[in-house]
Structure 1
Amino acid sequence: MTRLDQLSQRGRDFLGARQAIMAGAMTWVSERHLVSAISNAGGFGVIACGSMTPALLDAEIAATRALTDKPFGVNLITLHPAMMELIGVCARHGVSHIVLAGGLPSGAAIAAIKAAGAKLMCFAPTAALARKLVRSGVDAIIIEGSEAGGHIGPVSLGVLAQEILPVITDVPVFVAGGIGRGAAIAAWLEMGASGVQLGTRFAASAESVAHANFKKAFFRASARDAVASVQIDPRLPVIPVRALKNAGTEAFTAKQREIAEAVDRGAMDLAAGQLAIEHYWAGALRRAVVDGDIENGSLMAGQSVGMVTREQPVAEIIAELVAEADAALHSRASPFESAA
């Protein structure tokens, strides 16, 4: 067994995959083709349910199952109004892993997932919340740093990992945010992570259904082009979104001002304002990913985007990451370990 296999054993066993490499769930991108390709290549694909109806999720799971006999997961947003129905759809299909994102899951949701026999994964932005989730029955934790693309928290993965990995040992912990090379995977595994989650590299892969314009924007971008959105009005707590700078970035700033003014006039309450902002992001992302409007759409990308320079098949990406991780670990092995 290689050093990489030893370090990733817990994560591989948990996922049921050859490699402890998860794919981030990206709305409009993480669908049947990409998810099945990642699982077939030895990684672990995750369907992004987003705002899908139960019927749409039912069809997407069935279509993914037709393309792979390997394990894959489904990412559900905790605030989805049909949350319990979506869990029911996953249960009927025997989905092995469910990832909950977007807030603290309810006790009812956790109980339903556990009753279905699925393994439950949740995001934790702090050590205290990670402990609480584990006590509530969560089977694995994901910690995602601010380097990631899409909706992000305020703290980098380097800090989160130092805070959380030493204290969460009862369950596997997967790390995410800014990971673009296998050497980084090796380092996180050595630090105590059970596996990693990547999104940006897979978003621009050959199997990704994202528009060619969307992928080309990734190939041209550097890390500093992936910027976090700015909150204009503290009354409208907007979760920052990391995306490539374009006209859409400025449009979002203007949209926040427009909504804040509507709240001031009494034409809209705060809850409706926050919902309008989330709807804006969903529409802007679709314009970029599906329609290829890279000027006005949202080009959600992590800071690892500078390491995405060309379109590669998923299998090639995973093989490259594994080879790089193996090489990094081998270079740090003692002469005795190398001889063994």
Structure 2
Amino acid sequence: MLPEMTHTDPIAPTSADPRRQAARARLDRLWAAGTSFLGTDVAILGGAMSWISERHLVSAISNAGGFGVLACGAMEPARLAEEIAATQALTRRPFGVNLITMHPQLDDLVRVCLDAGVGHVVLAGGIPSGPVIRAIKDGGARVIAFAPAFVLAKRLVRMGVDALVIEGSEAGGHVGPVSLTVLAQEVLPFIRNIPVFVAGGLGRGDAIVSYLEQGAAGAQLGTRFAASTDSIAHERFKKAFIRANARDAVTSVQLDERFPVIPVRGLFNEGSRRFLRHQAETLRRFQSGELTKEEAQLDIEHFWAGSLRRAVIDGDVENGSVMAGQSVGMISSEQSVREIIDELVNQAVDALIRQEDRMHRE
């Protein structure tokens, strides 16, 4: 028998005002494909963030009516099984598990998810293989994959994924090259047979409505939830989010095209400055013959090893990697997950009411 849950009541109507109730009903129709697919009250997913998207935050998002997603990251299968069980002990509502396609034990991690009855598996960090997609679907779960480009979106649909997340470059962490504004125009009008969720730079409900009206099934947010009271992130990490502006969340800089740097968006800090100096010194050592090209590339890639945990868990926001999306500028206080979701819904309802007012004036 699972323990008694808290905060599991569906989100209540925003008010007894008939206009607000009508607008909320319209919102529910707009994201009906998303809520039906996820099994949730609202079509809002939590982005999977390493060290942050663990049992507490994931269950809080699901209990508040959204869809939490566990970040497996580099977990071993036994550790993932523990985290899934711990999350299930905190919520009876649906949640998903994000798996990195390059994980050396991916097949075992998929089996862990299926054995635990996880209904949705999110595949990230690369193009998933056909056999992995089939294994998940044959096991009774649904597959969600990321598409940073229209050509990949079409390919993933042909491969049989059940839903897509199109994530713009405004997002935090590892990002693609195209903004959500452009990506949505490329994908949403043409992918209609499966749900497509939008992500990247989203911090308000009215922005979510604009994408729903273009055909999106829902939205994924990470940055706002990372700074919530339900997040286990260090208080210094959350305070850095509250202080930051959108322009402070920048992508990592590459000094030489011979040594690629995977674009990662985060808050610029002393660690960012040291990374630039490290790249310059590594280039000097390569050019002087001290390092081979392979050694220099590895030296650059290993610079940030362990730095995300250092920022999130230890609170070293000056030297660690403070991954954040550009929506960080919209965070002005530490709120609970339920307050964030309620605020997003109310903003969406307000936007629909304003839209109706404009139509009546015309």
Question: 1:315 — aligned with what?
Answer: 338
Task: Give 3-state SS (helix, strand or coil) of 1:147's partner.
Answer: coil
Amino acid at match of 1:21: I
Task: Give 3-state SS (helix, strand or coil) of 1:323's partner.
Answer: helix
Unaligned regions of 5+ residues in structure 1, if any? Answer: none
Distance verdict in 2 for CA 1:336–1:236, change over 3 Å: closer
Q: How far did 1:320 drift? A: 0.6
Q: Distance in 2 between matches of 1:277 and 1:105?
A: 27
User: Deviations along 1:234-292, whole A, 9 cap, x unmatched?
Assistant: 2333221111110011122234345556766485663x766665554351111100000
Distance verdict in 2 for CA 1:74–1:3, change over 3 Å: same
Distance verdict in 2 for CA 1:86–1:222, change over 3 Å: same
Any residues of structure 2 matched to 1:1-340 within 5 Å, and which?
2-257=25-280, 260=283, 265=289, 270=294, 277=300, 279-333=302-356
Q: Distance in 2 between matches of 1:122 and 1:34?
A: 21
Amino acid at match of 2:160: G
Q: Distance in 1 between matches of 2:298 and 2:93?
A: 36
Q: Distance in 2 between matches of 1:244 and 1:123?
A: 23
Q: Distance in 2 between matches of 1:275 and 1:107?
A: 30
Task: Give 3-state SS (helix, strand or coil) of 1:86's partner.
Answer: helix
Distance verdict in 2 for CA 1:206–1:130, change over 3 Å: same
Answer yes or no: is the 8 Å Cα contact 1:149–1:243 preserved in 2. Answer: yes
User: Deviations along 1:177-202, whole A, 9 cap, x unmatched?
Assistant: 11001110111111110000000000
Structure label with greater radius of gyration: 2
Amino acid at match of 1:329: L
Amino acid at match of 1:129: L
Unaligned regions of 5+ residues in structure 2, if any? Answer: 1-21
Report how many aligned residue pairs link the two structures. 337
Q: How far did 1:313 drift? A: 0.7
Distance verdict in 2 for CA 1:217–1:336, change over 3 Å: closer
- Sequence identity of aligned pairs in percent? 62
Most deviating of 107-116 and 6-15: 107-116
Task: Give 3-state SS (helix, strand or coil) of 1:333's partner.
Answer: helix
Q: Distance in 2 between matches of 1:262 and 1:124?
A: 37
Answer yes or no: is the 8 Å Cα contact 1:285–1:298 preserved in 2. Answer: yes
Most deviating of 327-336 and 274-283: 274-283
Distance verdict in 2 for CA 1:104–1:259, change over 3 Å: farther
Answer yes or no: is the 8 Å Cα contact 1:153–1:239 preserved in 2. Answer: no
Question: 2:19 — aligned with what?
Answer: none
Distance verdict in 2 for CA 1:99–1:277, change over 3 Å: farther
TM-score scaled by length of structure 2: 0.88
